[in-house]
Structure 1
């Protein structure tokens, strides 16, 4: 590989990592604004979002969750979904990312309180030149060994078994 090819390869990896980082960072503002269209557009058409005992199927599942009465009540009361910086591993047109997240809820007496702290593992794919989430698996950081497994798999750049 020539020096020019090496530089182009490195530049493409950096651009991919940045695009994925921006994609993940846009989740919180989208759901906190109650914008179901924006949030759903982050997923592949047949992508999934697995949170504890709830599996959202496809963009429609994510759209329905954000548009639900329960979520819209959170937005109206004041909430903040914050995804921390992600560790991103790109392999061609596929990628894995891992991060932790907090959901803060506004509390009349103390300002904001942490409602959830979660481990998040993402599998992504480049579709028509755009990165999309194919699978997001989230588990509470409450001592659950599976949450630790998600973090370790993501740090290693590995997919969740059965979801490749």
Structure 2
């Protein structure tokens, strides 16, 4: 059996801390789809910091109040009452102390009106989630989402992924 040093224990603690942070971030982001598809405005807003920003190609929402209003808006309510799914891919997450970045894809899938169970993908976006730990909890400080329609801006968001260290 090898001898464990203080440096080994410190390295292990750092690795466990990063794993816990990544897990908490994945849990937070995975709550987004169910929150918006159930019309839970408060749960959706709580994913962000109080003054958090959601910068999507169709507009910008600033603060939890505007996020709540988006969930309650007629267009969004129309999506969920007709049938919708906001689906997130498993994002790539990088943690740096009390800040983190998650990069991945989202899809908005909508039920085709007048059908029993036909759905179509309404949009697919590239996403960059910038997170901050405040009061011991991870929250989204800024989310940038761009439609994957061939424009370089969306590809640039996805290009921000840092390959894992070997």
Q: Give TM-score scaled by structure 1 length.
A: 0.92
User: Deviations 1:35-87 (Å, cap 9, x if unpaired)?
Assistant: 00000000001110001130100111111101111111111000000000010
| Structure 2 residue matching 1:48: 3-state secondary structure | strand
SS in 1 for 2:150: coil
The answer to whether residue 111 in structure 2 is matched with residue 106 in structure 1 is yes
1:119 is paired with a residue whose SS is strand
Q: Which residue of 1 aligns with 2:162?
A: 156
After TM superposition, the structure 1 = structure 2 runs for residues 120-131 of structure 1, keeping only pairs within 5 Å, are 120-131=127-138
Quick one: distance in 1 between partners of 2:145 and 2:152? 12
Give distance in 2, aligned partners of 1:22 and 1:13: 14
Match of 1:134 among 132, 141, 148: 141
Question: Which of 24, 27, 33 is equivalent to 2:32?
Answer: 27
Query: Is the radius of gyration larger for structure 1 or structure 2?
Result: 2
Corresponding residue of 1:162:
none
- What per-residue deviation string (whole Å, max 9, x for no partner) do you get for residues 97-144 of structure 1? 001011100013461100000001010000000000000000000001
| Gap runs ≥5 in structure 2 | 1-5
2-structure distance, mates of 1:58, 1:45: 6
SS at structure 1 position matched to 2:27? helix
Match of 2:50 in 1: 45
In the alignment, which residue of structure 2 is the partner of 1:6? 11
Matched residues, number: 156
Q: CA RMSD in A?
A: 1.2
Aligned to 2:124: 117
| In structure 2, C-alpha distance between the alignment counterparts of 1:43 and 1:49, rounded to whole Å | 9
Give the superposition deviation at 1:94.
0.2
Q: TM-score, normalised by structure 2?
A: 0.91
CA distance in 2, matches of 1:83, 1:27: 8
Q: After TM superposition, what 4+ stretches of structure 1 lie above 3 angstroms from structure 2?
A: none
- Equivalent residue, structure 2, for 1:60: 65
